[in-house]
């Protein structure tokens, strides 16, 4: 569900969130199983492995400036997730509405609290008292753009055992597009100490959604454990994440 070209006011003076003076192009699109419910895990697995077609492409390059057996500088760039997915099913829906409220109209957003499916949301939008929503088009097959991003990174060996990595992710799709998977802009700076069998790193990121985050991680031989936000999550952070794994290779 998305709302493009949105303008309006959410008023809390009555205690409830009430939308007033709003205008937008609203799109509701769902694949098969989500017509009935989006509260059961089986709805998601059935949709993921249902009638889904598409193609994605990544392209990039990497350059290393060698200094002896190791590198002094490594840089790279890539454009990732170029492509789209097409959902085909008799139960699919993609409906466009025009939201156009006059000064006397309003919508209590708590009406959506008990909605358990996207068809429930449709029913709310189509209530007679919500006649400021006008359906403009409907289809059963729809295409969703993948979150195309431009990546740029550089890894520089400052001194022996100490590296500094810079990473940039810039989204290439427009925010106001409804039929797309969202992505976000990120810039990160990561100093790291590499002793061969042991490595420690301190990522500091600037994210358009969660703001500034700082984390910590380490690698011991092939095992690694870390977080991009553990240090800021302790305080008033807007992001919390963790990852771990084991890396190995053979010829």
> Is the pTM above the cut of 0.85?
no
Query: CA separation (Å) from 61 to 68, 75, 250?
Result: 22, 9, 24
Domain ranges of the chain: 2-183
Please choose, from the candidates 220, 231, 223, the residue with its C-alpha nearest in 3D space to the C-alpha of residue 193.
Answer: 220
At 134, give phi and psi (nearest 5°). Answer: -120, 125
DSSP 140: S
Block means of pLDDT (10 residues each) for the chain, length 251 residues? 80 90 81 55 52 83 88 95 79 79 88 82 85 77 85 94 96 77 91 94 93 94 93 86 88 59
Cα end-to-end span (Å), the chain: 47
Q: Where are the alpha helices (DSSP H) in 53-196?
A: 118-125
Residue-level pLDDT at 187: 97
Q: Are strands 162-171 and 149-159 parallel, antiparallel or unpaired?
A: antiparallel
- In terms of phi and psi (left: phi > 0; alpha: psi -120 to 50; beta: otherwise), the region of 191 is beta
How confident is the model at residue 89, as a pLDDT? 64
pLDDT of residue 199: 95
The pLDDT, as a whole number, for residue 183 is 87
């Amino acid at each position: 569900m998305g709302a493009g070209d949105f303008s309006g006011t959410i008023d809390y003076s009555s205690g409830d969130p009430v939308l007033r003076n709003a205008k937008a192009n609203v799109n509701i699109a769902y694949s098969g199983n989500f017509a009935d419910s989006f509260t059961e895990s089986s709805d998601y697995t059935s949709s993921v492995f249902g009638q889904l077609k598409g193609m994605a492409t990544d392209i990039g390059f990497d350059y290393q400036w060698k200094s002896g057996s190791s590198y002094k500088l490594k840089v790279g760039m890539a454009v990732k997730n170029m492509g789209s997915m097409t959902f085909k099913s008799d139960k699919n829906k993609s409906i466009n509405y025009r939201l156009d409220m006059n000064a006397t109209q309003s919508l209590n957003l708590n009406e959506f609290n008990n909605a358990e499916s996207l068809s429930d949301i449709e029913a709310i939008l189509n209530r007679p008292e919500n006649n400021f929503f006008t359906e403009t088009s409907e289809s059963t097959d729809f295409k969703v753009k993948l979150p195309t991003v431009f990546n740029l990174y550089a890894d520089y060996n400052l001194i022996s055992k100490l590296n500094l990595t810079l990473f940039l992710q810039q989204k290439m799709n427009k925010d106001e597009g409804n039929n797309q998977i969202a992505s976000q802009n990120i810039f990160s700076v990561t100093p790291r100490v590499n002793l061969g069998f042991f490595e420690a790193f301190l990522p500091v990121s600037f994210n358009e959604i969660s703001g500034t985050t700082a984390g910590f991680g380490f690698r011991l031989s092939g095992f690694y454990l870390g977080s991009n936000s553990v240090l800021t999550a302790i305080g008033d952070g807007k992001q919390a994440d963790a990852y771990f794994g084991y890396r190995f290779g053979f010829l």
